[in-house]
Chains A and B, each alone.
Chain A
Amino acid sequence: METRPVVSTSADVSNDHEATAARARSDREAFGALYVAHRETVFRYLRARCGSDDDALDLTAVTFERALAAIPRYASRGGGVVAWLLRIARNAVIDQERRRRPLIPQWKAPEHASPDPTPEEASINAEERRTLREHLSQLPPVQRDALAMRYAAGLTASEIGAVIGKSEEATQKLMSRAIARLKEGLS
């Protein structure tokens, strides 16, 4: 199966995705095509938004599981199917954070849960992700979401606005503030 490397925002591709989403309401193969077309986008967003790559993988699966359950109710409301999927992903992250928050501020797995780092965790890029996640976690949730959607998932300001419920202009301002704050933290 082919993996889409970046998010395309052209009208033609968007129309194709809308048509696939419409078919996916009753056609399992069409849902499979939807999954292949958008799994990278969803995963990259979650990788920037979650505390670890493993959490991002779990929540990517959860996102598509929920999408499969919700696809009969799908209706395009700004941002198309990408925004719809990222709304599901975003809610999955928020719910996960809420479940963990009252018990302890930062949920920690017991030592025996994952004793060895994966090869990727040992890589330089994984280290860089850890550093950036630490700084991203200091931002307000909506700013964190916007940056994850922009720089990890590759969404446009308009698409991000459709997910977080803000206008394109307000989303751009919000991202500028977030970048400025992140820059300050990284300096």
Chain B
Amino acid sequence: MSTRANVEDRLSAAFGEPMTSAERSKVEARVARLVDHAPARRRGFGLRLSRSMLLVAAVILMVPLVAAAGVVMLSTEDPYGSGDADAYEAELAAAKAVTPIPPGMAWPSYLDQADDRDASYGTTLGRSMVEINAYCLWLGYWYEAQEAGDAAKVGAAIAALTDARTWDTFTDELTSDQGFRDSIQHNIDAAEAGDAPAVLRELELNCQGAWPPPG
């Protein structure tokens, strides 16, 4: 029978353990690299801003009322920057407008609106959601074409997936973790190598909301 003190002790013992030297080295290598190259990082931010400006420009063309109200805001409470549900939805719309998906396929409906109107959303989350789903749709398109022996469609999917390798969500250390990025790149490798079982495993494990398309 657990007591309150027992629960507190278990939590402290299990999670209060210090980092091991191996764990510390892993984090330190990444952080030290950034600190040592801070000017280069700032240039990187310049590029990110340029991409953001393109997205904002697209929003201004598509959703003038929202754009007029200010699409993306930097919250004083969130040091990295976040927006409300409206800003998130505007970012989704802008990203969908510039991210290709396979012919005959459609965006999942959960990319139409925020799931919680009272929540705050990271400023890059909308674009990430769109890029992850586009990746899944192209992977599904590749798998169907590969199984059907349609070389033209396989080629189109490979071209799109090769381009997807460079999308921010799959390359930017600030928007996703290393394990996730490695896994995405590995699965694109699998498609390029014609490894249908590996691609199907990825579709079944991590793309269920996007593929197969509804209906």
Given contacts A43-B23, A151-B15, A151-B16, contact A73 B79 (CB under 8 A): yes
Residue of A nearest to B3 (CB): A183
Contact of A110 among B111, B205, B208 (CB under 8 A): B205
Grouping DSSP codes into helix (H, G, I), strand (E, B) and loop, the B interface class, with mixed when no group exceeds half, is helix
Cβ-based interface call for B34 (8 A): yes
Q: CB of A132 within 8 A of chain B? A: yes
Is A68's beta carbon under 8 Å from chain B? yes
Asked if residues A103 and B7 are in contact (CB atoms below 8 Å), the reply is no
B209:A103 contact, CB within 8 angstroms: yes
Expressed in whole angstroms, the Cα–Cα distance for A96 and B14 within the complex equals 23
Q: Are B34 and A87 neighbours in the complex by a CB distance under 8 Å?
A: no
**Please, how many angstroms separate the alpha-carbon atoms of A6 and B142 in the complex?**
51
Question: Which B residues touch A62, using CB under 8 A?
Answer: 173-174, 177
- Among B53-61, B97-105, B152-160, B182-190, the stretch that binds chain A is B182-190
Are the C-beta atoms of A111 and B201 separated by less than 8 Å? Answer: yes
Asked if A82 lies at the interface with its beta carbon under 8 angstroms from chain B, I say: no
In chain B, what residue has the closest Cβ to A50? B177
Size of A's binding interface in residues, CB under 8 A: 71
> Which residues of A in the span 95-128 have a Cβ within 8 Å of any Cβ on B?
95-96, 98-100, 102-104, 107-114, 120, 125, 128
- A103→B132 contact, CB < 8 A: yes
- Is the Cβ of B10 less than 8 Å from the Cβ of A99? no
A186 to B4, CA, bound (A): 11
Closest to A90 in B: B78
Sample 23 A-B pairs with CB under 8 A, ordered by A number. Answer: A28-B36, A39-B19, A43-B23, A44-B15, A44-B16, A47-B15, A61-B30, A65-B30, A69-B41, A70-B79, A70-B81, A74-B79, A88-B80, A100-B206, A102-B111, A104-B209, A110-B186, A110-B198, A110-B201, A112-B198, A125-B14, A125-B17, A186-B10
What are the nearest 8 A-B pairs in CB distance?
A152-B15, A58-B177, A151-B11, A48-B15, A61-B30, A70-B79, A95-B122, A186-B2
